[in-house]
Amino acid sequence: MLTRDAKTIPSRFFALPEAKNLSAVLWTNSGTVAKFARMGFQRGMDSEDIHMYRAGLRYVMNPDATEPAPFKYEVGARWEPWEEGLVMAHNPNATFPLPQSAFPGIVHHELRADGLIETTFPMFHAFRSRTWIVVGV
C-alpha cells in the first residue's frame, strides 16, 4: 500500500475479486497533440512549407543495455503506427485473458507464475520524445 497525505492507495489491483472481469489495462503517455500532428503529417495532411522532426529516447533490444538509446528522424521518413506508445498490463487472474496477439506492436507486461513481471517490447518504443515543427523552410 502507498500512503501519502492521509490517502491510501491499495496495491495489487488485479488481486481484487472484482478485477477478474478485467482482462487487461491499456494506457499511453504518448496520446499527445504532437503525436496526432505527426500522424496527420505522415498521411499527407500537411502544408508545402512545413517540416517536422522528432527526437528522443527509445528502448534498446539488448539485455546488456544500461540506458535507452537516442533517436531522431524527419517525420515521414519513418512510419509511426497508431499503436506506438501503447502499454498493456495483463491481468493474471482474468476470467478471460487477453492474448498479446490482440494488440501486436505494443508493450505488454505480464505477471509470471514465479512472481516476476515479463515485459515484451516492439522493435521501436519511445520512452520520451519531442517534435519540432518548422515552417517556411
Residue/partner pairs of 73-81 with CB below 8 Å, 24 or more apart: 75/38, 75/41, 75/42, 75/51, 75/131, 76/41, 76/42, 76/52, 79/42, 80/35, 80/38, 80/39, 80/42, 80/54, 81/105
Asked whether 26 and 88 are in contact (CB, 8 A), the reply is yes
Sign of CA dihedral 98, 101, 106, 107: positive
What is the pLDDT at residue 12?
84
- pLDDT, tens digit only, all 137 positions of the chain: 556 677 776 778 899 999 999 999 999 988 899 999 999 999 888 777 889 999 999 999 998 999 999 999 999 899 999 999 999 999 999 999 999 999 999 999 999 889 899 999 999 999 999 999 998 86
What is the pLDDT at residue 46?
72
pTM, 2 dp: 0.83
Q: Strand order of the sheet with strand 107-111?
A: 24-28, 86-90, 107-111, 117-120
Cβ neighbours, 10 Å, residue 84: 19
Secondary structure string (H, E, C) spanning 67-95: CCEEEEEEECCECCCCCCCEEEEECCCCC
Give the Cα separation of 118 and 91 in Å (integer).
Answer: 12
Specify the 3-state DSSP secondary structure of 3: strand
Q: Which among 75, 72, 32, 73 is positioned nearest to 50, based on CA atoms?
A: 75
Specify the 3-state DSSP secondary structure of 128: strand
